[in-house]
A and B are shown apart, each in its own frame.
Chain A
Amino acid sequence: MVSFTPTEDQQLLIDTMRRYALNEIRQIAHESDEESTPQMSVVNTGWQMGLVPSAIPEELGGFGEMSAITGVLAAEELAFGDLSVAMHVMTPALFAYPVTLYGTPEQKETLLPMFLEESFAPATAALLEPGVLFDAHNLKTTATAAGGKITLNGTKAYVPLADNAEWLLVYARNAESGVTDGYIVKKDTPGVEIEKRELLMGLRALPTFRVRFTDVVVEESARLGGAAGCDVNAILSRGQVALAAMAVGVARASYEYARDYAKERVQFGKPIAQNQAIAFMLAEMAIEVDSARLMAWEAAWKLDQGADASAEAYLAKQYADQMVLYVTDGGLQTLGGYGFIREYPVERWLRNGRGFPTFDGLAMV
């Protein structure tokens, strides 16, 4: 039966997240962006709302089950607050969710307890690689098996919070089969080197790093899912859906701000929103935000059905990539000269919005 109404629990979550986004995240977003420094008290509040533990099964000590729909609803609200904070709060999920979904019993037992703690879980994941042409199905980072051990070599880019992480989920290409797999790596393993912090156009309040792996040797049991491995396509789909939902959040922030501004700003004796040139741009923005949201929802719903959602997830992400650029550009344009000034948030939303086609592996539901 078709329905667009979240459950009561989900609606409660949306309301809570929205209050957090407006009352806490928005208050620090500008300063954090200017100083390229996360505001940990706000991040911790977000972490303690328990999104990640609620996706971990009860038998492992969590409070629920993984729901991509719940994930996208929360992701949109967090990103509506600020994209850096949203990704920061959800960075541990990049490690926890694949382990929950595909980990061996030992991997789950040893690794998942850290996500049930009150303190922010020191775990992240490394997918993206430096360079112009990135392809998750043909990674440059390699995993070579020999004598019961696996050796990792390569460089990863945009690894969020790698500096404070203790655990990394590293995606690499099996040197023999060419298949992409995940490898659980302790950061203090010899050969793991946190290089420079990335300097990006946006996402400034989220520290991300270049990480180099030089002959990093791990046990065979470090492979996510053990001998069976993981479903990397499903992991990528979950990433695409999460990013699509965050793009909707960023776009909605810009659209709503521009809409309200256009009704206040008077030129030629009337609010600029009373000109069709502005009103139509805002109407198109509203339609595009809703379009992308519904696509993310549909893909998430399909994931929750346990079905192959790779087409829906990919299309949702591709659509959202373009949508968020169009909408955040429209937001800046609506504010004219003020839009270009950093004291107004719309330019930050445009800088953050432009990054989505590049953000592979930076979010997950």
Chain B
Amino acid sequence: MTINFEIPEFLVQQTQMVKWVAETTMRPFARQLDENEHERPYEFIQMIWPILRDQQKAALDKLQRPADGDGEKKRSRPSTRILGTMLLIEMLSWGDAGIYLCLPSPALGGAAIEAVGTKEQKLRLLTRFAEGDEPVWGAMAITEPGAGSDNSSITTTAVFDEETNEWVLNGEKIFITSGKLSLEESNGLVIVWATVNKEAGRAGIKPFVVEAGSPGVSIGKVEIKHGIRTSDTVTIVLNNARIPADNILGSAEVQASRQDKGFKGAMATFDASRPLVAASALGVARAALEFVKEKLTEEGVEIPYGLPYHRLTTVQRDVLEMEALLKAAYLLTLRSVVMLDAGEHNSLEASMAKAKAGKAVTRITQKAVELLGMMGYSREWLVEKWMRDGKINDIFEGTGQINTLIVARRILDYSRHELA
């Protein structure tokens, strides 16, 4: 091994393709979709669904194939799967962060099934994402009105009905990204976190798969938002919702064995999802920074490298600071992703990347609005939209503060009891 920052050529080429997708199916519709909040980005969805469907199919086919007699073939080089995903999300978010979130895929729901599900569950639940002409969405439902950052205090209950061999869920889940697309507009699914025993605290919390069409499940409020307006964010109401016994991920036991990956497994999906939220932040920030530089160039303001502070204008210094900040966030994200690809534990690095990228996109996009004067604030350009879109990355998948708290616990080697 050696320290190296070179992105493999095939990923550079993939990124160029994605850029084309962003330029043709995202950017031209970005403003119109933002102004018409609950419209769907059909051009993007139709273009991307067959690609994602076929990728999912390939993954499931691989799962079904009997293992080679020789056992796992040793890979000659480390995986670049998540690095590829990072670059994909960065570029799609450069196109439009709200549209990107409408990606027809299992999304976080799929991540939980991948991380915790049995082979049978994976095949049964994920096949819908691998076939047909109609796009399908997945979602993750953790947050409740009284349980935001503190997701251990959720109150949605799951009770097993032995007569019908079903789980019965009751409660209200809010802020579900793509919840309506998953349950009402496609044959998708949502991972719902519910407790089987409130007294047991964390140990009682389990992830359940709620499929579209399950009785007792309905969509409540459809949120109106500051940014990512194209993304569907809804409340899911569970009123004696009934799902099959086999739709629990991991063990139902409160005193689970060490092998049980239920709650912890689902929590571990954050280690994978946080760098990808950071990647989205990077894309939005880069869009804003590039646009600012382009407009400044048109005005005859170039950004020089190498000059002492006293020879820079305030605007130049601001832009250089934005650029450095973006680079810092990019490199932290890259590191967390490369660790994931190598199968290394990256909880600390993932939270560092998420905290930094959330802060960076906030700062960079807010500054971009300021630097471009009246046009920066105008809805004629996309900069003000990028500022509104970017902010979500400092909030979902753990706020900047929650991720800072995780970093703090890790570096201090403290449990959540020692550092609350």
Contact = CB atoms under 8 A, between A and B. Distances in A.
Q: How large is the interface on B (under 10, 10 to 19, 20 to 34, 35 or more residues)?
A: 35 or more
A318 interface: yes
A243 to B, nearest CB: 14
A137 B308 CA distance: 9
A189 to B, nearest CB: 29
B196 to A, nearest CB: 32
Contacts of B419: 273-274, 276, 279
Contacts of B339: 4
Contacts of A302: 5
Nearest to A233: B306
Given A273-B414, A279-B414, A315-B327, 7 more contacts: A133-B308, A135-B310, A287-B407, A291-B356, A294-B331, A294-B335, A297-B3
B324 interface: yes
B4 A295 contact: no
Nearest to B304: A314
A163 to B, nearest CB: 28
B3 A280 contact: no
Nearest to A301: B5
B1 interface: yes
24 contacts: A1-B80, A2-B4, A2-B6, A2-B334, A3-B3, A3-B338, A5-B1, A259-B412, A263-B412, A273-B419, A276-B408, A279-B412, A282-B408, A286-B411, A287-B332, A287-B356, A290-B335, A291-B328, A295-B324, A297-B3, A298-B5, A298-B331, A311-B305, A318-B324
A310 interface: yes
Interface of B: 1-8, 77-78, 80, 83, 305-311, 320-321, 323-325, 327-329, 331-332, 334-335, 338-339, 352, 355-356, 401, 404-405, 407-409, 411-412, 414, 418-419
A110 interface: no
A286 B7 contact: no
A293 to B, nearest CB: 9
Nearest to B321: A318
Interface string A52-95: 00000000000000000100000000000000000000000000
Given A2-B5, A4-B338, A282-B412, A135 B311 contact: yes
Contacts of B5: 2, 297-298, 301-302
Most chain A CB neighbours (cut-off 10 Å) among B305, B331, B332, B335: B305
Nearest to B403: A283
Given A279-B419, A315-B323, A295 B3 contact: no
Interface of B is mostly: helix
Given A133-B310, A276-B419, A287-B356, A5 B3 contact: yes
Interface in A285-326: 286-287, 290-292, 294-295, 297-298, 301-302, 310-312, 314-316, 318-319
Contacts of B320: 314-315, 318
A310 B306 contact: yes
Interface in A1-31: 1-7, 10
- The 9 residue pairs across chains A and B that have the minimum distance between CB atoms: A291-B328, A294-B331, A5-B1, A279-B408, A283-B408, A283-B407, A319-B324, A314-B305, A315-B324
Interface residues of A, number: 49
A292 B352 CA distance: 13
Nearest to B360: A291
Contact of B404 (A280, A292, A301): A280
Contacts of B332: 287, 290-291, 294
Nearest to B326: A315
Contact of A134 (B308, B321, B418): B308
A100 B325 CA distance: 34
A14 to B, nearest CB: 11
A324 to B, nearest CB: 14
Interface in A233-268: 233, 236-237, 259, 262-263
B223 to A, nearest CB: 29
Contact of A3 (B1, B306, B412, B418): B1
A137 B404 contact: no
A26 to B, nearest CB: 21
A347 B417 CA distance: 32
Nearest to A320: B324
A284 interface: yes
Nearest to A315: B324
A355 interface: no
Nearest to A291: B328
A237 B80 CA distance: 31
B350 to A, nearest CB: 12
Interface of A is mostly: helix
A306 to B, nearest CB: 13
Contacts of A357: 309
A1 B411 contact: no
A287 B359 CA distance: 12
Contacts of B310: 132-133, 135
Contacts of A279: 405, 408-409, 412, 414, 419
A158 B104 CA distance: 61
Contacts of A294: 328, 331-332, 334-335
Contacts of A1: 4, 6, 8, 77-78, 80
A351 B338 CA distance: 36
A273 B305 CA distance: 40
Contacts of B2: 3, 5-7, 10, 69
Contact of B3 (A6, A132, A259, A311): A6
B306 A137 contact: yes
A4 B324 contact: no
A314 B327 CA distance: 12
A327 to B, nearest CB: 13
A6 B1 contact: yes
B414 A69 contact: no
A139 to B, nearest CB: 12
B404 A283 contact: yes
Nearest to A4: B335
A290 B355 CA distance: 13
A10 B306 CA distance: 29
A279 B2 CA distance: 33
A315 B326 CA distance: 10
B312 to A, nearest CB: 10
A282 to B, nearest CB: 6
A298 B419 CA distance: 34
Contacts of A301: 3-5
B298 to A, nearest CB: 21
A256 B408 CA distance: 13
A3 B4 contact: yes
Contacts of B311: 135
A94 B151 CA distance: 55
A6 B4 CA distance: 9
A48 B386 CA distance: 54
Contacts of A2: 4-7, 83, 334, 338
A222 B72 CA distance: 63
A234 to B, nearest CB: 11
